[in-house]
Amino acid sequence: MFNVYEFFNKISSLNPRIRLDAGQPDIKVDERIIEDAVSSLKRGETGYTKTPGLDELREKIAEVEGVEKENIIIGNGSKILIASQILRAKRIGILSPHWQAYESAAKVFGKEVKIFKTSLEEGWEPRIESLNVDLLILNYPNNPTGKILPREKLKEILEIAEDENVKVLSDEIYSDITFKPFTPARELYDNVVTIKGFSKLFSMTGFRLGYAIAQREDIKAMQKFLEITTTCAPIFIQRAGVKALEIKEEVKKRVVRIYEGRVRLASRILKGFEFYKPDGTFYLFVKTGVDGLSFAEKLLEKSVSVFPGIAFGDYRDFIRISLVSLRLEEGLEIIKEVKLCTSE
């Protein structure tokens, strides 16, 4: 399996001028969020919290999400909560293209993986007749395609999950960066563990803060896992999370507008490339017509970094462009030039 983390390290050591590779937003974390973390530290909040998380944060999430506090658990980033669910399952279904960490975690934990491929030609919509897994991972808005599944299509898949008694892990970490209506899976099916986080909308990647919404027995299982691993998210980081949610609507308006503008810009400059115009996220999964890894390496020579499609499954002639740089326009022009050279 192509190791995207190694490729990321290679990019980082080359230090290219225009970075369009990782899912690291360039928009600054709001000052008010940082101030609350700092003032929490200065007040001496340096100890443990309860493993499920700070009451104030869980209450705020409950209010924002319209769920009960008891159905929420805080994680040190969302990834560890995802991993804890993969660890509990035997056979994991993943819709592809997909974020590599799902498949890597499943393999490291010795699980069976069943990949359901989708294609650009079919608008990245899955065609599923039966699942035959015990955990199905959904990720909409999707990394890397930016696709949001229409409600009816989502319902169809969740009905199959219900018939086969399959638990669904719905990774909705991009659900606040949307340009079209989005239906959370838990609105349509009960047996869902929803994963959310602060890394994308609020650019708080290094804070390592995420949460899950789930039925109590799933919350308990995640709690057990955190008890033996991270114990809790740092209290001052959780305070920052409370502030982030307080100003969420304001941040969302600003951030969505920025990414929507960048999608428009990219769509204009990359006319002639084939890709699905994203319904959400800040990614573009673009068909190169040639080997995506060679394409990414050619771009690196020109000091522009992207990830090759093989970082997201069996998509050799794609690259993923992350729209997270102030030098985006210049980067896109270089991508266009490289495409012209490779197709000559």
Binding residues for ligand PLP (CB under 6 A):
23, 77-79, 99, 139, 143, 171, 173, 197, 199, 205, 210
Nearer to ligand PLP, 6 or 344 (CB): 6
Nearer to ligand PLP, 41 or 101 (CB): 101
CA atoms within 13 A on the CB side of 213: 24
Q: How far is the CB of 208 from ligand PLP (least distance, A)?
A: 7
Question: Cis omega before residue 141 (within 30°)?
Answer: yes
Nearer to ligand PLP, 205 or 267 (CB): 205
Determine whether 211 is exposed, middle or buried from the number of CB atoms within 10 Å of its CB (0-12, 13-18, 19+): buried
Nearest to 320 by CA among 272, 288, 279: 288
Q: How far is the CB of 301 from ligand PLP (least distance, A)?
A: 26
Q: How far is the CB of 206 from ligand PLP (least distance, A)?
A: 9
φ/ψ of 306, rounded to 5, equals: -140, 170
Nearer to ligand PLP, 239 or 320 (CB): 320
Q: Which residues contact residue 210 at a Cβ distance below 8 angstroms, ignoring those fewer than 6 apart?
A: 74, 75, 76, 77, 78, 79, 80, 81, 173, 195, 196, 197, 198, 199
Q: How far is the CB of 204 from ligand PLP (least distance, A)?
A: 8
**Nearest position to ligand PLP, beta carbon:** 77
189 neighbors 50 (Cβ within 8 angstroms) = no
Cα–Cα distance, 318 to 306 (Å, whole number): 10
Nearest to 5 by CA among 76, 79, 75: 79
Q: How far is the CB of 96 from ligand PLP (least distance, A)?
A: 13
Nearer to ligand PLP, 199 or 288 (CB): 199
Element (H, E) at 74: strand 72-75
Strand partners, 72: 213
Q: How far is the CB of 295 from ligand PLP (least distance, A)?
A: 21
Q: How far is the CB of 28 from ligand PLP (least distance, A)?
A: 17
Nearer to ligand PLP, 195 or 332 (CB): 195
Nearer to ligand PLP, 51 or 143 (CB): 143
